[in-house]
Amino acid sequence: MPNLELVRRAEELCKVLQQASYAYYALDTPSMDDAVYDALYRELQELEAQYPQLIRADSPTQRVGEHPLQQFYSVQHYIPLFSLDNAFNVGEVVAWQERCQRLLKQDLESGAGGQPQNLDVTDSSFTFLESICELKIDGSAIALSYRNGVLERGATRGDGTMGEDITSNIKTIRSIPLRLNLENPPDHLEIRGEAFLPIATFEEINQERSQTGESQFANPRNAAAGTLRQLDPRIVAQRRLDFFAYTLHLPSDLQHPELSQIKSQSQALECLQALGFRVNPHRQLCKSLAELQDYYNHWEEERHHLPYMTDGMVIKVNNFPHQEQLGFTQKTPRWAIAWKYPAAEMPTIIESVTVQVGRTGTLTPVAELRPVQLAGTTVSRATLHNSDRLAELDLHIGDTAIVRKAGEIIPEVVRILPELRPLHAQRFAMPSHCPECGQPVVKPLDEAATRCINRQCPAIVWGAIEHWVSRDALDINGIGEKLVRQMVKANYVSSIADLYSLTSEKLQTLERMGAKSADKIVAAIAKSKDKPWSRVLYGLGIRHVGAVNAQNLADHFPNVELLASSSPEAIGSIYGIGTEIAQSICDWFGDATNQQLVKHLQELGLQLQSSPSHQVAIAINPQVTGKTFVVTGTLPTLKRDEAKTMIKAAGGKVTDSISKKTNYLVVGEDAGSKLEKAQALNIPCISEAELLAMLETNTKSKNFFD
Ligand code: IVH
């Protein structure tokens, strides 16, 4: 039996951990260091393992680790889950507002209900009912039941009357409290909200699934629904579902000093947050139609910057007595409406498939579509990505396909509806020869891409030149896509170096090219020789080297020789440059044609090195670059994170634990087991001062590759 002291300790640990969890997951303002949380969590776990009678239903340890279920059980909802009516334009929103006002007015005239606020019953013109706007989160609706303040059951929406009991999965969601933060909670409280997967997590899951050969989730909503119905809660816990609460059902006979005060949706949302839930912060009270419209316009754009999906806004009459008077239809509340953003997914017909060849020789199949309106624009082409994706879709010409355009993303074919396939439709297969040069294409086994490997392929040549002249590269004005193709077809250029031998006279022989424009272009090409090394590096078009990586690399490698002679390990050790990028750079410089090109560009006078002042400031240090550091203990002047950032900025790597690969342990006061382990492995231990000295030489050393 645990003594009283231990009982209290377990209770207090639960409370402290719950508060930290709330601050972290619901309020997004961490209040406790991760290591402290972990230590206290472990202490509680150990206590509970020793005395299982101490395990409380709301203990944070109860969130994970339940065993897989055989099946989910159907349960009847205590209160049915309604859905929402939709509006697709402002006219429909106005009609909804007018209907609400009319109904309230009728009620008032017939003597029912209280005096509605914001409603001038003597004025027949349009006045506005105070409404609260919320984001419509694109996930799965969840019903939560709390018995005496403790989470008793979590269920899916199902058909609105019956759902599935998914309590063990719900418990893994950290933004759902296992116990409400409320004195004297009522016997029963129902809370509703949306469980969802952040977009980044959805992408990670799909990536993992593609590696393991599992089918992809079409969107975060499906992924969330699939995860909620996963029978093994341990998998659910790994998936990091999240939840926004949006409905607090207050029993009609409720007598509670705080809860009975709640008279509006805005107060209910505040209360939900205080009870321990994560509530979406982007809610707004609106007092006019213009404010509703502003909210809609703002979020229709801004939603693309949110880490989760929203497909519209929900407008709710704010005042609870008004909501009560308005009531429900068969399926939906009269006091709320969803105003959806224009559809981002629509069905259309695939009329044909064309194949584009990119500057790296990658063949991309593109669906030519019967034009369709998507998120406000007409879409007539959509990418099919690669032949793996084609095979997955089993695409036939004439198929009906669901096409999606999300934000800035290029439209893509999400899926095919094979039921609607015309008879005798032909399956589309990737060509065996490049559509631009006619040479056979290759498909490496470990890649999804099909490639043309003919260096003289016009598509590769003009792709490379288009990239070279583009804004983020050498930014050569006056040379557009059309002109590049003309120049390649006329055999004036077959590599980027050839641009520098173009003359005005030669250019003037091209279609619609006057002397003035030709002179300007020649001058712009000549001026590009002053563009910095980072731009030239980006302009070379090495796979995976974007403008940001090029800048980063140019900062670390003051000239092309140093970069070209470095190992993938040395390049990959730069913070932000992964092994794939590093390998791609080494492959590129290992190629004889590319080496020729670099030499040629050098002879032409392009900047293949940093300007001298730049070199001194950021040349690299062999003591740091490519070396792995671990930082432990309290350092005399630097915070541990500061030291780590400085090491990484100098090209070093920082890891959390000591291994044989560790090169240095930076030791501060009260260093614990890491110091012992480093000593056991004979890893050099250095002080903060020694680290700073190393970083100091960082700016002076120029002989990294000596
Ligand atoms: S209120 C009785 N608020 O949208 C009204 N729903 O199309 C209950 N949804 O089934 C819904 N975000 O799953 C409400 N802020 C929000 C919402 C929201 C997403 C979902 C909910 C509902 C569906 C209706």
DSSP secondary structure letters along 360-393: T-EEEEEEEEEEEEETTEEEEEEE--SHHHHHHH
Output 381 or 239, whichever has higher pLDDT.
381
- 125 pLDDT more than 70: no
Contact status, residue 525 vs residue 477, Cβ threshold 8 Å = no
Considering 201-205, 419-423, 564-568, 650-654, the range whose residues carry the highest mean pLDDT is 419-423
Q: What percent of the chain has pLDDT over 70?
A: 92
- 570 pLDDT more than 90: no
Which atom of ligand 1 is nearest the CA belonging to 135? 15
- 121 pLDDT more than 50: no
Q: Whose CA is nearest to atom 17 of ligand 1?
A: 136
Report how far apart, in Å, the C-alpha atoms of 429 and of each of 355, 394, 397, 651 are. Answer: 11, 9, 10, 45
**119 within ligand 1 shell (Cβ under 6 A):** no
Which atom of ligand 1 is nearest the CA belonging to 136? 12
- 213 pLDDT more than 80: no
What global pTM score does this model have?
0.55
Using CB atoms within 10 Å of the CB of residue 126, give its burial: 0 to 12 exposed, 13 to 18 middle, 19+ buried. exposed
The region of weakest confidence among 239-248, 337-346, 583-592, 688-697 is: 688-697
- Amino acid 647: pLDDT: 81
Pocket test of ligand 1: the residue of 83, 161, 323, 341 to mutate, having most ligand atoms within 8 Å of its CB, is: 83
Report how far apart, in Å, the C-alpha atoms of 220 and of each of 223, 311, 537 are. Answer: 5, 12, 37
Phi, psi of 400 (to 5 degrees): -90, 130
Active-site positions read 136
**DSSP summary character for residue 260:** G
Nearest to 274 by CA among 154, 185, 168, 148: 185
Q: How confident is the model at residue 331 (pLDDT cuts 50, 70, 90)?
A: confident
- Looking at the chain, the number of H-run helices and the number of E-run strands are 25, 22
**41 within ligand 1 shell (Cβ under 6 A):** no
**299 within ligand 1 shell (Cβ under 6 A):** no
Output 93 or 697, whichever has higher pLDDT.
93
Cβ-Cβ contacts under 8 Å for 180 (sequence gap 6 or more): 146, 149, 150, 189, 275, 276
- 412 pLDDT more than 60: yes
**313 within ligand 1 shell (Cβ under 6 A):** no
Pocket test of ligand 1: the residue of 299, 314, 317, 337 to mutate, having most ligand atoms within 8 Å of its CB, is: 314
d(CA 230, CA 611): 57
- Amino acid 478: pLDDT: 92
The region of weakest confidence among 83-87, 140-144, 291-295, 374-378 is: 374-378
- 372 pLDDT more than 50: yes
- Amino acid 244: pLDDT: 98
| 3-state secondary structure at position 540 | coil
Phi, psi of 327 (to 5 degrees): 65, -150
Cβ-Cβ contacts under 8 Å for 188 (sequence gap 6 or more): 78, 145, 146, 147, 251
Q: Whose CA is nearest to atom 4 of ligand 1?
A: 136
How many Å lie between the centroid of ligand 1 and the Cα of residue 345?
20
- Amino acid 184: pLDDT: 93
- Dump pLDDT digits (tens) for 52-109: 999 988 899 888 756 777 788 999 999 999 999 989 889 999 999 999 999 998 876 7
d(CA 205, CA 209): 6
| 3-state secondary structure at position 456 | coil
- Amino acid 702: pLDDT: 34
How many Å lie between the centroid of ligand 1 and the Cα of residue 157?
11
Tokens at 208, concatenated: 């993992």
Which atom of ligand 1 is nearest the CA belonging to 138? 19
d(CA 134, CA 310): 10
- Amino acid 444: pLDDT: 83
Cβ-Cβ contacts under 8 Å for 274 (sequence gap 6 or more): 181
The region of weakest confidence among 208-212, 302-306, 389-393, 640-644 is: 208-212
Report how far apart, in Å, the C-alpha atoms of 617 and of each of 18, 554, 611 are. Answer: 48, 12, 11
What is the residue whose two structure tokens read 């040395």? Answer: 570
- Amino acid 612: pLDDT: 65
Q: How confident is the model at residue 123 (pLDDT cuts 50, 70, 90)?
A: very low
Alpha helices for 139-257 (secondary structure H): 167-170, 199-211, 220-228, 233-239
d(CA 134, CA 246): 9
Q: How confident is the model at residue 407 (pLDDT cuts 50, 70, 90)?
A: low
Cβ-Cβ contacts under 8 Å for 422 (sequence gap 6 or more): 398
d(CA 242, CA 25): 9
- 615 pLDDT more than 50: no
